[in-house]
Amino acid sequence: MFRQYKLRDYRFSLIILVISLSALGIMIIGSAQSSSQNRQLYGLILGIGVMIFVSLIDYSWMLSFSWLMYLVGAGLLVAVLIFGENVNNATRWIRIGVQFQPSDLVKIILILFFSSYFSEREDNLNTFRTIITSLVLLGVPLFLIYKEPDLSTAIVTAMTFCAIIFAAGLSFKIILGILMVLIPGVVIFFSVILRPGQTLLKEYQLSRIMAWLRPTEFAQQAYQQQNSIIAIGSGQLYGKGLNNNMVSSVKGGNFIAEPQTDFIFAVAGEELGFLGCCLIILLEFLIAVECIRIGRRAKDLAGSLICCGMASLIMLQSFVNISVTTGLMPNTGITLPFVSYGVTSLITLCMGIGVVINVGLQSRKY
């Protein structure tokens, strides 16, 4: 379980990047909703402790329990649907002393699980059996997450899985075949949902897509995303400053509901300006790059896939969140890693980073 490591191999740079971005997020959260700031600070302190603890556990030992972790994750998702708390027409949380969102933990579990699964089947990765079995194993938690409903998390989780299986060595012929089916499929999907009386999407999901495609016609549904775009633009280069109380601001005028979570980037754009937004994007990017650098020196394929999975999760989730706040994608409702308010999200991400650090502690020597 625990091994002896050399202090010089410890990736303090990755911890510094995570703490820096999280600290910036805490300041922005305090400006968006001061009542949430202390809870996020406590979450960061606990997250750092979890990250350091996990970083000292041999990841190979953890992967030996990959199937148990998978079953626990699936069990938690089932528990959400049965015992979960409904907030804003979504059942994503369960209360175990504190409010807890299992889908955040499941994202990390699936990265570990599929890293182990594909590394054990490295020679048979491109077989029909391996691919179909992996898709079924992915489909179970994705279906449970979708039923909460949490479509955005399901999409990001699926995209992270794609990155992991690609890094594991999926044949380009298979990838090309998937794209040849996927691209026309997306076109057909949009043509179907735009027809009156469609049943593929729920009403609120369709309204978000229509508000994105036709914001002037669906102004009531598009107001939050449009206000986000205006807020980011109003910050210009340097922003209006943190903790301002201007009535015209996105928080002062209550133009966005709960700006401390999914639309935290709008608050950052307005109060820190273009430079502040660039700093957030840069820190997210550097964390992902550091994960990839560690993965390139991993002692085995499983370690490389863990690092690839974490880097993909951080970049994909950041891309989706920022794309929503800037109007490049429909409103999906997903947090910005290490920045948005969400104690469960912060702690689980720190847990994932801890595993990456352990991979670095056992890296190949040149």
353, 346 contact by CB (below 8 A): no
| 185 vs 219, residue with greater confidence | 185
Q: Which residues contact 298 (CB under 8 A, 6 or more apart)?
A: 304, 306, 307, 359, 362, 363, 364
pLDDT, mean of residues 190-198: 72
Only one residue has tokens 């992270």, namely 160
Mean pLDDT of the chain: 86
Domain locations along the chain = 10-361
Dihedral angle at the C-alpha atoms of 303, 305, 306, 309, nearest 10 degrees? 160
Residue 366 has pLDDT above 60, yes or no: no
Separation of alpha carbons 263 and 118, rounded Å: 35
Are 337 and 345 spatial neighbours (Cβ–Cβ below 8 Å)? yes
Looking at 186-190, 266-270, 289-293, which range is the least confident one?
A: 186-190
Higher-pLDDT residue of 232 and 193 is 232
- Residue carrying structure tokens 């391996």: 130
Which tens digit of pLDDT belongs to each residue from 174-192? 888 888 888 887 788 777 7
**What DSSP character marks residue 147?**
T
Cα four-point dihedral sign 297, 298, 302, 305: negative
Q: What is the mean pLDDT of residues 30-58?
A: 91
Nearest partner of 356 among 81, 51, 26, judged by Cα = 51
Among residues 311, 333, 355, 337, the alpha carbon closest in space to that of 159 is found at 311
Residue type, 243: N
* pTM, entire model: 0.91
HSE, side-chain direction, 13 A CA sphere, residue 269: 18
pLDDT at 229: 87
Q: By C-alpha distance, which of 353, 360, 331, 344 is closest to 155?
A: 331
Residue 363: DSSP 8-state = P
